[in-house]
């Protein structure tokens, strides 16, 4: 493969060592394209395997805080597939503990996102929480909210996630779609985290079930720029809706590193599938059809 181009000011070039499969990647694996003008269009190029959650070794640097040879984790600013070399912003990656294998260290990127989201919610001590979607992101939300002192945590997923969710701090694991659970739910959680995305219906389920004056964090990816949201119910219940991208990324990656050091069980319990890049299609298919005990699927580079 040809050597990568030299980075411009503020960039680093990485030799990729691992990539975590995010739920937002899966549509591209199926060949989806993005609506004109959306953020995802600016993040990803051709349909395929974006893999924006990455670890890598710095092979060239035009950033003052990164040197050649550094092992880093973070965001690929833009990538058109599984690449040996990735050029990204040095402000979106950070070093990680040398004792971590790259395929485990990659979890620091989604953990940084979750820590940032929970930070926006403020003090959650004693608050009852519902997490809609118990995939890798939902599991991290449960873990962090439990560590931050949340009260009862209910998790909802169409895959039966009892064992996995319990290990991540969920008190009640519901095996159902979010709309079915929201229709019959008795508990009105003060915090609802929507980790499913890709449709307006699941956000409306969160609005429907949230307690008066409660908070909703919409973490899932919106595939369409305009969606139908029950604004009337959002207003009448005096709910606060949070969403957005992770800011202060290097700071949050540092926070994620400290959190992982305090909770070493995540090192063995979160990444459940490490698959070599030559079997990339099998890795994405596994992520598309998760087993009950499945956590994060990671692609290991040579």
Q: Are 178 and 150 within 8 A, CB to CB?
A: no
pLDDT at 79: 57
**What sign for the dihedral angle of Cα 39, 221, 125, 209?**
positive
More confident of the two residues 148 and 42: 148
Map out the domains of the chain with their CATH numbers. Answer: 11-107+270-300 (3.90.180.10), 110-242 (3.40.50.720)
pLDDT at 44: 44
Mean per-residue pLDDT of the chain:
89
Lowest mean pLDDT among 153-157, 211-215, 224-228, 250-254: 224-228
d(C-alpha 251, C-alpha 253), whole Å: 5
Helices (H) and strands (E) in the chain, counts: 12, 13
d(C-alpha 193, C-alpha 203), whole Å: 9
Instruction: State pLDDT tens for residues 252-286.
Output: 999 999 999 999 999 999 999 999 988 988 998 99
Q: Are strands 296-300 and 129-132 parallel, antiparallel or unpaired?
A: unpaired
Check whether 62 has a pLDDT greater than 50.
Answer: yes
Check whether 36 has a pLDDT greater than 60.
Answer: no
| DSSP state, residue 25 | G
Q: Which two tokens stand for residue 70?
A: 């550094």
Task: Tell me the sheet residues that pair with 131.
Answer: 155, 193
pTM of the full predicted structure? 0.92
pLDDT band at 223 (very low <50, low <70, confident <90, very high): confident
- With CA atoms as reference, report the closest residue to 271 among 242, 247, 239, 300: 300
């Amino acid at each position: 493969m040809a050597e990568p181009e030299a980075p411009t000011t503020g960039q680093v070039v990485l030799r990729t060592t691992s990539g975590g499969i995010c739920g937002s990647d899966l549509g591209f694996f199926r060949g989806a394209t993005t609506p004109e003008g959306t953020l995802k269009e600016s993040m990803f190029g051709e349909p395929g395997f974006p893999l924006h959650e990455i670890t890598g070794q710095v092979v060239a640097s035009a950033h003052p805080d990164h040197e050649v040879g550094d092992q880093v984790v973070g965001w690929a600013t833009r990538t058109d597939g599984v690449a040996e070399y990735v050029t990204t912003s040095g402000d979106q990656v950070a070093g990680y503990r040398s004792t971590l294998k790259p395929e485990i260290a990659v979890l620091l990127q989604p953990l940084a996102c979750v820590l940032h989201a929970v930070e926006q919610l403020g003090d959650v001590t004693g608050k009852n929480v519902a997490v809609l979607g118990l995939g890798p992101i939902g599991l991290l939300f449960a873990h962090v909210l439990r560590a931050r002192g949340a009260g009862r945590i209910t998790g909802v997923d169409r895959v039966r996630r009892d064992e996995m969710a319990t290990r991540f701090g969920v008190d009640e694991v519901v095996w159902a779609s979010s709309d079915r659970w929201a229709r019959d739910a008795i508990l009105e959680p003060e915090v609802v985290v929507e980790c499913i995305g890709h449709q307006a219906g699941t956000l409306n389920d969160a609005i429907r079930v949230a307690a008066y004056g409660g908070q909703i964090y919409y973490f899932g990816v919106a595939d369409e720029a305009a969606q139908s949201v029950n604004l009337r119910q959002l207003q009448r219940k005096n709910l606060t809706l949070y969403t957005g991208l992770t800011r202060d990324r290097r700071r949050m990656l540092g926070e994620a590193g400290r959190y992982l050091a305090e909770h070493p069980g995540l090192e063995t319990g979160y990444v459940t599938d490490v698959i070599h890049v030559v079997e990339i299609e099998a890795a994405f298919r596994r992520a598309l059809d998760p087993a009950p005990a499945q956590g994060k699927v990671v692609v290991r580079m040579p």
